[in-house]
Amino acid sequence: MKRTSTAVVGVAVAALALTGCSGDGGTASGGDENTLTVSGWSLDSTPEFQLLADGFEAQHDGVTVKFVEYDPTDYNTLVTADLAAGKGPDIITQKEVKYLPTFQGGGQLLDVSDVKLPEGIGGADSYKVDGTAYATPYRQDSWVLYYNKALFDEAGVDYPDGSWTWDDYVDAADALRTGFEDAGVKATPIYQHSWQSTVQGFVAAQTGSDLLKGDYDYLKPFYQRVLDLQENGDQVPYNTVMANKLTYQGEFGKQNAAIMPMGTWFTATLVAQQESGEADDFEWGIAPVPQLDDSTTGTDSTPVTFGDPTGFGINANVSDEKAELAKQFLEYAASEDAAKALAGIGITPALLNDAVTEAYFGVEGTPQDDLSKFAVSTHETLPENPADKNTAAIQNILNDLHTAVLSGSQDIDSAIADAEDRVANEVG
């Protein structure tokens, strides 16, 4: 089938990002007011972009959506350079919330507060600076707990039931380790990936701590728990993850670990990898992440987790006519129609209602148990990255803390003290 949307060849450097595109106010689609250009990355392996383009085109006769593909590793740097040069795409995909203030502070994004969003959509507040919206969400991944039912069965340990606190999480890991030893199973109870999110995201969400304040003592018990889990063999050590370049897809998909905290984007990946044979064939489920205390556990409560949205902003350099069309694209991407389409390919949309959840679990290969559906559809998802000009710099410092503590190169107290000193002296 011939597609009307076109992917623009990826760029190597910012200056070449839009070579060959005519200029009208510097935007990539030039003078054609019926063509929208959208920044993206890894187009061949990120089907959501084409899905949204096709859906929008189907509702807007004569409109074409084209993508400008950027290197995913340097995405924000390259897009920032293009915007600063006055030649960025019409619509700027917000890959990471922490960079929104950079675009907004440079006067590179339009105010999109007038874009109509459906009731109950998640992630919209993450794109507001001083009460003004500079982007709108279309997907909202939240962190959940993936678990391998087959490995739990081999260890003789009960599945997660939605009632776990972090203490229960540790107890389950201990029981799994003992069960694996008795059964001769070569697996580690927990795989926690190397990202700072896997510790700091949960801390911020569940304790209500503010990373912008520069006081990080609240991190200590969470990091101590991880160090203890590594020490007693309940969790793959950070240094092993880094030295062996382990991937979370491979560790869980090849049944090297029974439990893995991860964002809901992993559902689509695991389904696809099991279908292709890249991952083993085993039964798995999704549970809420462990909670700070039992006040938010159980299926009668709302578990607290974290996750940042992915959204779209509009290049401030577009014409008035193009801005109106771009706002219509943002409205469509946030709509229930788009949400159901995204859910149908295993993407977690920003809008989650009964119809969208049904579409999400209608994907063949997804778990069908009630707890999995509850974990995906019911949670209070708090942002990992506040929309503030200092967020990116502070997160870089906290990433250094994360690496120092989990690698064993620095004890928790001194790493926290160094981070606090750096934030006080380097940020602001």
Does the domain made of 143-303+383-426 have the CATH classification 2.60.40.1240?
Answer: no
What is the chain's mean pLDDT, rounded?
91
Q: Which residues touch 69 (CB under 8 Å, ≥6 apart)?
A: 7, 8, 9, 10, 11, 40, 41, 42, 43
Q: Give 261's DSSP letter.
A: E
Name the residue with tokens 């203490």: 167
User: For 36-55, what is each residue's pLDDT tens digit?
Assistant: 999 999 998 889 999 999 99
Chosen CATH of 6-141+307-352 out of 3.40.190.10, 3.30.70.60, 3.90.1300.10, 3.50.50.60? 3.40.190.10
Q: What integer pLDDT is reported at residue 324 of this predicted model?
A: 97
Q: What integer pLDDT is reported at residue 27 of this predicted model?
A: 56
Q: Where in the chain is the domain with CATH 3.40.190.10?
A: 6-141+307-352, 143-303+383-426
DSSP states of 306-350 = E--EEEEEEBTTS-HHHHHHHHHHHHHHTSHHHHHHHHTTT--BS
Tokens in use for 173?
């890991």
Q: Is the pTM of this model over 0.95?
A: no
User: For 298-325, what is each residue's pLDDT tens digit?
Assistant: 999 999 999 999 999 999 999 999 999 9
How far from 360 is each of 41, 45, 109, 287, CA to CA, in Å?
Answer: 23, 19, 32, 16
Average pLDDT on 405-418 reads 98
Q: What integer pLDDT is reported at residue 87 of this predicted model?
A: 86
Q: What integer pLDDT is reported at residue 86 of this predicted model?
A: 86
